[in-house]
Amino acid sequence: MRRAARAGGLPPAWGLALAWALILARAQALENGLARTPPMGWLAWERFRCNIDCEADPQNCISEKLFFDMADRLAEDGWRELGYKYINIDDCWSAKQRDGAGQLVPDPKRFPRGIKALADYVHSRGLKLGIYGDLGTLTCGGYPGTTVDCVEQDAQTFAQWGVDMLKLDGCYSSEEEQAEGYPKMAKALNATGRPIVYSCSWPAYQGGLPPKVNYTLLAEICNLWRNYGDIEDSWDSVLSIVDWFSAHQDVLQPAAGPGHWNDPDMLIIGNFGLSYEQSRSQMALWTVMAAPLLMSTDLRTISPSAKEILQNRLMIQINQDPLGIQGRRIVKEKFHVEVFLRPLSQAASALIFFSRRTDMPFRYTTSLAKLNFPDNTVYEVQDVYSGGRSFHRKT
């Protein structure tokens, strides 16, 4: 009734139609409809870095072979069916100069067939291709960047190649250029008409926190964003990321939701820095943080135990929960045990009991009340790693 009245002289039915049209238009302007759950896939950087020495190291250098190989593994080893669909190129893919028309071009020696051919192959395997750019004069690795005046041209280039995701880094640009360039790229990607998931590194370059970072704006223009520093292949690095995200969860947690996610960076499971238990911990923590699951490991040689962690179905189901609510740390015990909780659809919840102790396995006792669960009901509990089930009620 109110809506119809506000529409002035129009008959009530028109008033409603107008209200709907306004709502639809607004939704289209803000969302590209992508990444309704956190993106899953593989990203080259942490494991393969800027290794461009294809003569000495043809298996591991940044070349089309690496991406053809990984696409085959994603398609053939059960990853794709579980949702790991994106295969993402990171830095150091391009030639050191743009071509005569000012276009970004791949390094001709390392990507002789070009990015379009790689995208076609990736698509033929039921996967999607991501690429890397940098808003600035150079990428972090020193390759040609996308200055603000090149944003539209580069968006067109990526779309023509058939790219499905863009990570736009922020080395070598000023705060003002970033404030102009990141929203401009969102518009330019939309204008190509190709659905391209947009990953922004903008907040990571501005300290990750308000007032410098506006999470309301970010959620409107980016599908995911890096908030913090780069992950490295160590447990210390994982912990520093978890600590930062937990310390600032009041700001970060509400910013996430379907179509827009905080990105604590890649999964390093399968590499050299984490023990088995630490690998399980990273997987659980990223799952409850509703983080994108972007593996950066060699899928050609991954161990069965690392693969099992990354392919845990229930874990993935939790990460991909349709409500898209990011979890929070709800308990921090003095004796180095922490509890994380993520609300899920169908009145379920995911809990992590996370021991940071370094002495021995620890028996942790808690209560429904302490975890904020009503105790007048029966709970079915399932251990995501062991599969074990049990029922609990107040005793």
**Residues in contact with ligand GLA by the rule CB under 6 A:** 45, 90-91, 139-141, 169, 201, 230
Question: Would you say 45 or 182 has its CB closer to ligand GLA?
Answer: 45
Burial of 88 (0-12, 13-18, 19+ CB in 10 A): buried
State how far the Cα of 295 lies from the Cα of 31, in Å rounded to an integer. Answer: 26
Question: Would you say 161 or 228 has its CB closer to ligand GLA?
Answer: 228
Minimum CB–partner distance for residue 294 and ligand GLA (Å):
10
Catalytic residue among 90, 91, 164, 169: 169
Minimum CB–partner distance for residue 45 and ligand GLA (Å):
5
Tokens (6 digits) for 302: 């991954």
Question: Would you say 139 or 271 has its CB closer to ligand GLA?
Answer: 139
Catalytic residue among 72, 77, 120, 230: 230
233-272: buried (b, 16+ CB within 10 Å) or exposed (e) per residue?
eebebbeebbebbbebbeebbebbebbbbbbbbbbbbbbe
State how far the Cα of 159 lies from the Cα of 77, in Å rounded to an integer. Answer: 28
Minimum CB–partner distance for residue 2 and ligand GLA (Å):
48
Is residue 383 flagged as an active site residue? no
Is residue 169 flagged as an active site residue? yes
Minimum CB–partner distance for residue 49 and ligand GLA (Å):
8
DSSP per-residue string spanning 138-207: B-TTSSB-B-GGGHHHHHHHHHHHT--EEEEE-TT--HHHHHHHHHHHHHHHHHH-S--EEEE-HHHHTT
Question: Would you say 208 or 327 has its CB closer to ligand GLA?
Answer: 208
What amino acid positions are annotated as catalytic residues? 169, 230
